[in-house]
Each structure stands twice: as structure tokens, then as C-alpha cells.
Chain A
Amino acid sequence: MELTRRDALAALAGAGILAGGGAAALARDGFRDEGEPSADGESERPESERPESDRVVDALVATAHAVYPSAVENVGSFVETYAATKLDNRPDFRIGATETLDALDAEARITFDARFGELESAAGETVLRRVGAETAEPDPGGTTAEKVRYYYVNEVLFALYTSPTGGELVGIENPQGHPGGTDSYQRGPDR
């Protein structure tokens, strides 16, 4: 099942980031066509010049590859679109996620000699388990495990399961947090 720009917009709207601004209000559009220049050209910069927020986006994408079900496609585009815009609009989130990234990167370097954001899904999952995020309570002011759970694992799960496509994966086309109207609650499963 393909995640779309509409899903990213819906997840951002549900979080109060976008309220009718649409794609024009995105900090970055991960669904832009291949070859089409990005709005700011950041992805073209050398690694050493990329802003810290890009590393956070990479890490959130890696988290999503690790914790999303295999049935979803376009994970990178979806999370990039969602996360870049959220980081731009929520300073508290940006600060907390950036601070927490150090712990994820440290664990990734120990085990895989790479930044967390560079890991494939299986390796990313290993790191997330090693820091204890799978069973930790989410807490933005808690332990490393609790902060990883809050800023990374739950962040991308919230984005997925409040989006229309994420809801449909489970069987609900208007999931909680998504303004999907008042028709769907009246419909039966076969309509």
C-alpha cells in the first residue's frame, strides 16, 4: 500500500502543523519528481555541510523503515515530507529529537560503524532494540530509551496511523486524528 503526499499532508494537519496550507507550506516535499530540484537544494550539499535537522530527518526515515509494516511503500518520501516540515514548525520537537539523536548515532557506530540515519531497516531495528525503545514508555524528558521511543518510534508511528493509508492498513479509512468526515462511520464494511 503506497503512502502518498496526501498522507503526509494529513498527518501534518492532524498534528496541527498544516491547516489548509497544502503542499505549498511544506518545508520539503519528499514526493517531488526525480530530477526536480528541491526547494532549498539541501540534499545536494556535501555531508559535512548538511544541517543537523537533515540528520534528524534521516534518522526518522531509518526509524520508519525499521518499525513500519512491510506492506507500506514510499516510506522515505512520506517521512521526509512529514518530518522536515514538523522540525521546521516545532522548535521543541527539533531540539528534543536532535539531542536524542546522539544516543542513537552512538549505538549505531558501536554496532555498525555508521550513523543511525544510514542504516538499513534490519540494522536500524537492531539499534532501536538495543537502546530499549521497543518496550520503553514514551517520555520526552525521560531516559534515553524513553526519549527514543517518544521522538523517533512514536513520532513515525503517529504519522503513519493517523494518515488515511495507515488507517486503511488496519481497516479504518478515517483513523482518529484525521478529519475524514462523517460518512465513513455510517458505511458498512462492504460499501
Chain B
Amino acid sequence: MSTGGSGSGSGTATPDRTPSRKVDVCVVGAGPAGALAANRLADRGHEVVVLEAGPRFDRSERRERMERAIRPAHGTHSVWGMGGERDAYTSSGEWFYPLNITRVKGVGGSTLHWQGMVMRLHESDFERHTRDGVGADWPIDYADLRPYYAEAERALGVAGASDNPFAPPRETPHPMPAFPPSYSDSIFAGACEEAGIAMHSVPNARNSEARDGRSECVGFGTCQPVCPSGAKYSADYTVEAAESKGVRVLDHVPVQRLEATDGGDRVGAAVYATPGGEEHRQEARQFVLAAGGVETPRLLLLSRSTDHPEGLANSSGAVGRYFMEHLFAGTGGRLDRPTRQNHVGFITSESHQFYDNDFEGVSPIKLEFLNYAGPSPVEQALTADEWGDDLLDSLRDSYGRHLAMGGLVGQLPRADNRITLDPSTTDDHGNPVPDVQWSLDDRTRRSLARANDLQARVFDELDADVEWTVGPDNTGPAYHHMGTTRMGDDSDESVVDPRLRTHDVANLTVASSSVFVTSGAMNPTLTIAALALKAANHVDDDL
């Protein structure tokens, strides 16, 4: 345990939020990246302090959070307390970006509300420019990250199978067996065979059997935004493990800025605010910035100084630029027979057949077969304008014959999609809020259209009535923030090097999807976790 303050940040009326002394590593952010990095560094014997802007949520309240998620009175933001002056933002780009429903601030970060899908990026994602002449190449390749992926799968607890012929090579089976396919998967299977589309299992960061002191999935069906049983991985469990090894975690301490020292070559302290209105300086030998794809660049921009006039570690001008998202493509409709939806809140089959596709001018496409098509009966009941037998008739009519496919496509990195500071609006500490400038490009639209074409093939084979399509004109983000402190070998064009350390500041490392060079079309958290473990190894080497 580090000397100095010893409070955990919660559990007492007046937790000690004063800085620790003789700290090796200060980690900013207690989401999955910060938690995994802190835990790894504690394993290596280092004194670690984690500064988290949000609260520490009481795990015993998760069922109440689930009730709030199901009942329409409370709204999405209330489940994890997002919104308000603390989380103020603007969105001045071509497309509005709904930032606060895409993230959670608190111990556990956005894994508290995530879906829990954990795929590895493909080899091609690291070589997009070489292979397709678009985007950029990563300075590392799949082989570099491969051992960290395996470690990340063990750390999160991934249930998966090796039946995916399109997945990149792996060395060992997943830590837990995959969840079996659903009944509705079996309906899709026949149609997909006719349509020439291969289905396979989905790796889930969700216990298919009891593991690490956490329950197996018990089927509450509300994975997103809250898993009451704890079967779904969330980073608060890793934080708990890290704390048992002596890591000190302070909650409610938003970092205001990082102070440069040594002529701007190093960070000397993270300045953080407390709920009581005080500001403290946490000094450390190394700093790991793990605050997600929006707050990470924002904090660097807020940390400008004489030595770093455009923001800390921003001599390239790339901080905040190349913001990328995954876009959703979907098709849904009804069959003339039961499809058994909404028993669970996760998916059990996908198709990665068109990920490394040879379509002209199209990015990777991931297809999903949903297990929660159509309305959930209880949610429909709570918003209905009728009751009694009329309501029951409506619920029976609405439930059970829906089918839906989803899909993700990724944006290419574009400099004008970016996070900047908006000085016209300030947060609860008087800091300029993040402004999300976001738009869609033609390649992304083409990819969405192609995903819709593939989905239409399946629905044609099903002879289903298609009731909705989400595609190029009405798509929305998948809540994956990437690219805003990109990795690269060239310090003129990137923010961090292949060791995840900033080019400009010797003791500042970034562990986040903000370092992604391309987005791929896979849910990013497993790659975030792998990169965080890699970053921690490098920080350990430097200590």
C-alpha cells in the first residue's frame, strides 16, 4: 500500500481523497483499460493510484438499476447517473453525437453498461492502407497483440468456441465454453445456408459457468445496460482485485489537468478535484491515461502549457482527431411462427464471412443474429395505453414472431472527425466541454448498404415480412469511441508510439481505444484490454 492517504474513496462519510506519496504509477480512469493496467502493475509490485471521475457504484443496487432500466419513467441516463453539468458536451458536427448514452463514468466505466461482445480484430485491420489503399496501417500487427489478446480473454473471462473459420489464428481455446445457439439462431441457420452465409458462435465476456467468484448467467435479459447477477464482466471486478493487491482507487476525483515538468518532457502531477471543492496534485513516476476515447484527448487538450501550447503531447496536432465509430446496420421483421425472443439480452451467433470481403470500396462487415427482436412484453406493457385483456391481446400479438439481424461497419480515420474543446460551454468545474464533430463518409455508407443487402438475402430466404431497415440514411453509432490519440511510428502524425507512450512526454502512456489507428468492425473492448496489458508491461519495463 502506498503511503499517504489510504481511503478507498467510498464506504465512509468522509473518505480520504488526499494524494498518496511515493507513487510509482498514477492511472487516470477506472474503466477496463485503467483497471487492467493498474492490476497488472500491482502484480509487478508497483505502488499504484487510480483517479476516477465518477462514483463507486454499490453492487447490491444493481437490481434496482435494472428496474429503472425496464420502467419507462426513469430514462436511460438514470441507470448509471450520466448527464448533468459534470457530463456536459456539445456536438457541432454534421451528425449529432449522443455522447452521454454511449458511456458511463464510475468505477468499472462503460463496461457497466456494455453488451459484453469480445472479438479480436483481424490481421487486415492492422494493415488497412497496405491492403486496401485507404486509412492507415498500425505500427504493430496482429502477431504483436496476439499474446495480449489471450491474456485479455483470461482477464475478462470469455465464453467462446473455435468454430469461426473467419477469425484470426488463436493459440488456446477460450476460457469458458460458448453459449449454445438460440432457437431463433436455428431459424436463421436454414435461411443462411440457402443464402450462402456461414454462422458461428460469438465470444461473450459473460460467464457461461461460474468463474472468478461470479455467477453464471441467469438470464435476467437486461445485459445492456445492467447485469444484476454479475455474470457479465465489468471492470469493477478487476478494480476489486487490484485493490486487494494494494492499489488505491479514489472516486469522485475528476482530473482537471496534467502538469508538465522538466521543460515539458515529463508529467509531474495529475491535478484532481474533490467533491469538497479542493484541488490536489498526485505526483507519480509514470502516468497512464485511460479515460476513454473522448475524455482522454479532452484532458490532453485541457493540459496545454507554455511547453505544450496546443495541448499536452500534441506536437502532431493529432490529439482529438481521427475520431471513429462503428455504425449499425439492421433489418427486422416478422415470421408466421414463434421465434422465441427476449429470453436473454445477448447474442449467440454472428457471421464474420464478409469481414475480409473483396467488395469494391467497402469496409469490413460484421453480421449479428439478434435474440431480442421486437418489444419486450414488460416494457411494452408499461408504455401501453390500454390494460386488462386488451393489453394482454396486444402483448400476445406483438411478442414472439419477430426476427432481426444487426451488423457493424467501421469508419475510416478522417482528421476532420474530431474531439475539440468548446470554450463556450463549461462543466461543473469550469472546464471547456468536449465538442464531438462527427460525420459519415461515402465508404461507410456503401458498407452499410452492403450489410443491408446481405441481411435482405437472409430475410428473403426466410420469407419474412421486413418491417424495418437501418442503413446508410438512418444509421446510428454503436457507442465505440476510437482513434483520438492514434498510435504511430511518426511523431508528426500520431500521438503515441507502439509502446503506447506519447511521443512528446516520456512518462505518459495512453491505454484506450483512443490509440486505435483503424476501427475494424469488431466491438473494441477486447482490443482495449489487450492494449492496456501491453501498455502496463511497457510501463513496468520503464520503472
Q: Which of B182, B338, B382, B386 counts the most chain A CB atoms within 10 A?
A: B382
Q: Is A134 in contact with chain B by the CB < 8 A criterion?
A: yes
Query: Does A74 lie at the interface of the complex (its beta carbon under 8 Å from any beta carbon of B)?
Result: no
Is chain B's interface secondary structure helix, strand, loop, or mixed overall? loop
Residues of B215-261 whose CB lies within 8 A of A: 216-222, 228-229
Cβ B389 vs Cβ A154 within 8 A: no
Report which of A154, A158, A160, A177 forms a contact with B220, defined as CB distance below 8 A: A177
> A67 with B342: in contact, given A185-B371, A186-B182 (CB under 8 Å)?
no
Alpha-carbon gap, A175 to B381, bound state (A)? 12
Verify A175–B378 contact, CB threshold 8 A. yes
Within 8 Å of chain B (Cβ to Cβ): is A22?
no
Who on chain B is nearest to A141 by CB? B73
- Within 8 Å CB of B182, what residues of A? 185-186
Q: Quick one: which of A140-183 are within 8 Å of B by CB? A: 140, 150, 153-154, 157-158, 160-162, 166-167, 169-172, 174-182
B285 at the interface (CB under 8 A from A): no
Task: Report whether A170 and B217 are in contact in the complex, using a CB–CB cutoff of 8 Å.
Answer: no
B128 to chain A, nearest CB (A): 36
Known contacts being A162-B378, A177-B66, is A153 close to B387, with CB within 8 Å? yes
Partner of B183, one of A16, A182, A188: A188
List the B side residues contacting A170 at CB < 8 Å. 377, 392, 395-396, 399-400
CB-contacts of B381-412 with A (<8 A) = 381-382, 385-389, 391-392, 395-396, 399-400
* Interface footprint category on B: 35 or more
- The yes or no answer to A118 lying at the interface (CB within 8 A) is no
CA distance A120 to B345 in the complex (A): 39
A48 within 8 A of B: no
Asked if A70 meets B221 with Cβ closer than 8 Å, knowing A15-B63, A16-B63, A16-B66, the reply is: no
A184 proximal to B (CB < 8 A): yes
Among A140, A171, A177, A179, point to the contact of B229 (Cβ < 8 A).
A179
* Contact B387–A134 (Cβ < 8 Å): yes
CA distance A138 to B387 in the complex (A): 14
For chain B, residues 73 to 101, give those with C-beta under 8 angstroms from any C-beta of chain A: 73
Q: Which residue of A lies closest to B70 (CB)?
A: A177
Partner of B67, one of A16, A140, A175: A16
Task: Return the CB mask of B166-198 against A: 1 if under 8 Å, else 0.
Answer: 000000000000011111001000000000000
Asked whether A187 is an interface residue with its Cβ less than 8 Å from the other chain, the reply is: yes
In the complex, the answer to whether A177 meets B386 with C-beta atoms within 8 Å is: no
Q: Quick check: B396 and A171 within 8 Å, CB to CB?
A: yes
| Any A CB within 8 A of the CB of B343 | yes
In the assembled complex, which residues on chain A have CB atoms less than 8 Å from the CB atom of B338? 171, 188-189
B70 & A176 in contact (Cβ 8 Å cutoff): yes
User: Assuming A70-B389, A189-B338, is B381 touching A172 (CB within 8 A)?
Assistant: no
Interface centre among B216, B228, B229, B345 (most CB of A within 10 A): B228
Cβ of A31 within 8 Å of any chain B Cβ, yes or no, is: no
State A93–B288 Cα separation when bound (angstroms): 43
B180 neighbours in A (Cβ, 8 Å): 186
Complex CA–CA separation, A71 to B271 (angstroms): 62
CB atoms of B389 and A157 under 8 A apart = no
Partner of B378, one of A68, A134, A161, A179: A161
CB pair B382–A158 under 8 Å, yes or no, is yes
A70-B388, A182-B179, A182-B219 known; A16 and B377 CB under 8 Å? no
Type the 1/0 row for A52-96, where 1 means its CB is closer than 8 Å to any CB of B: 000000000000001111110000000000000000000000000
Instruction: Check A172 against B71 for contact (C-beta < 8 Å).
Output: no
Contact B219 A180 (CB under 8 A): yes
B181 cross-chain contacts in A, Cβ below 8 A: 186
B313 to chain A, nearest CB (A): 44
- Residues of B within 8 Å of A14, CB to CB, are 63, 66-67, 220
Bound CA span A167–B348, Å:
22
A102 within 8 A of B: no
Provide the bound-state CA to CA distance between A138 and B399, in Å: 23
Q: Report the minimal beta-carbon distance from B490 to chain A, rounded to whole angstroms.
A: 48
User: What separation, in Å, do the CA atoms of A174 and B183 have in the docked complex?
Assistant: 14
* Residues of the B chain whose Cβ atoms lie less than 8 Å from the Cβ of A157: 378, 381-382, 387
Chain A's closest residue to B64 (CB) is A16
Q: Provided the pairs A71-B392, A153-B387, A170-B377 are in contact, do residues A175 and B73 lie with their beta carbons within 8 angstroms? A: no
CB-CB < 8 A to A137: which residues of B? 72-73
Residues of A within 8 A of B66 (CB): 14, 16, 177
Contact A69 B389 (CB under 8 A): yes
Q: By the criterion CB–CB under 8 Å, are A185 and B396 in contact?
A: no
A68 touches B71 (CB 8 A): no
CA distance A177 to B219 in the complex (A): 8
Contact A177 B67 (CB under 8 A): yes
- Whose C-beta in chain B lies nearest to the C-beta of A67? B387
Residues of B within 8 A of A138 (CB): 71-73, 382
Query: Once the chains are docked, how many angstroms separate the CA of A178 from the CA of B344?
Result: 10
Give Cα A124–Cα B222 distance, bound, in whole angstroms.
33
Q: Which of B64, B371, B386, B399 contacts A134 (CB 8 A)?
A: B386
Q: Contact at A135–B385, with CB atoms within 8 Å?
A: yes
Q: Determine if B360 is an interface residue (Cβ-Cβ < 8 Å).
A: no
Asked if B219 and A172 make an inter-chain contact with CB atoms under 8 angstroms apart, the answer reads no
Q: Mark B300-341, 1 if CB is under 8 A from A, else 0.
A: 000000000000000000000000000000000000011010
Does B376 count as interface, using CB distance less than 8 angstroms?
A: yes
* Pair B388/A125 contact, Cβ less than 8 Å: yes
Is there an interface contact between A182 and B344, defined as CB atoms closer than 8 Å? yes
Write the nearest CB–CB distance from A63 to chain B, whole angstroms.
10
A175 lies within 8 A of B221 (CB): yes
CB-based nearest B residue for A180: B219
- CB-CB under 8 A from B392, the residues of chain A are 69, 71, 169-170
A-B contact pairs, 23 of them (CB 8 A): A14-B67, A15-B63, A16-B63, A16-B66, A68-B388, A69-B392, A140-B73, A154-B382, A158-B378, A170-B399, A172-B343, A176-B222, A176-B342, A176-B378, A179-B220, A182-B179, A185-B182, A185-B348, A186-B181, A186-B182, A187-B183, A188-B183, A189-B337
8 other contacts beyond A174-B221, A177-B378, with CB at 8 A cut-off?
A14-B220, A15-B64, A154-B72, A162-B70, A176-B222, A176-B377, A182-B217, A185-B344
Q: Residues of A at under 8 Å CB distance from B?
A: 13-16, 19, 66-71, 125, 134-135, 137-140, 150, 153-154, 157-158, 160-162, 166-167, 169-172, 174-182, 184-189
